[in-house]
Amino acid sequence: MSPDAVPGDDGKLRCPWAVSTDDYVAYHDSEWGRPLHGDDALYERLCLEAFQSGLSWITILRRREGFRKAFSGFGIAAVAAFTDADRDRLLADPGIIRNRAKIDASLANARELVGWEPGELDALIWSYAPDHATRPAPRHAADIPAVTPESTALAGELKRRGLRFVGPTTAYALMQACGLVDDHLADCFARRTPGRTSGSTQGRAPAGG
């Protein structure tokens, strides 16, 4: 597939990863790269990006409703109150990814976050958003990095504050998905920020979020 923006069935130019399935088209057009706020919403994305590690995003996307049901809508307070019986339930739930380490990290992170002030997670994550005006608009998938100084710093701060399964790559996927950066290609109809179109950075295309 061409690394440049490609037309979908409706003729609109999209990032090349987005045209392979209807699920990706809907996610790309309505969610990916759009600003997301709220502690519970961002906790959900932290969990899902961690579960995606080592897998394709479509695997997570198609199970997202199963995840939401299993994790009580990803309400931080609700998940923080999960018991050992809830953990066993999650490990047996075919509607999610039954990875013990990722489940344990999601539960531990909720128990850590429930002690934070309301809005603190949102404010912390968004404090690492780079200035859009200083970032070139990527023209090719190869222009999009997998890790940035900001994602490395964000991952380091989240880990310092007790959160698990939040490495620099996961942090950058979170930044892409939640609109801290706009990594839609320059010619993609969904791109929000015009940016500059010169220059590039080493890296790879996103795997859908």
Instruction: Return the beta strands (E) in the chain as ranges.
Output: 6-7, 13-14
Residue 3: the pLDDT is 59
Distance from C-alpha of 172 to C-alpha of 183, rounded to nearest angstrom: 11
> 3-class DSSP state for residue 6?
strand
Phi (first) and psi of residue 132, to 5 degrees: -60, -35
Catalytic status, residue 49? yes
Residue 132: the pLDDT is 72
Q: Which of 57, 128, 150, 172 is catalytic?
A: 57
Burial class (CB in 10 A: 0-12, 13-18, 19+), 199: exposed
Catalytic status, residue 27? yes
Q: Which of 158, 201, 183 is nearest to 33 (CA)?
A: 183
Question: Could you report the average pLDDT of every consecutive run of 10 residues in the chain (209 residues)?
Answer: 77 93 96 96 97 94 97 98 98 97 98 98 97 78 91 98 96 96 94 52 35
Catalytic status, residue 57? yes
Distance from C-alpha of 9 to C-alpha of 27, rounded to nearest angstrom: 15
Burial class (CB in 10 A: 0-12, 13-18, 19+), 86: middle
Q: Which of 17, 24, 27, 43 is catalytic?
A: 27
Give the position of tokens 């940016």.
195
Domain ranges of the chain: 13-177
**What does CATH list as the number for 13-177?**
1.10.340.30
Distance from C-alpha of 43 to C-alpha of 39, rounded to nearest angstrom: 6
Residue 196: the pLDDT is 38
Residue 203: the pLDDT is 30
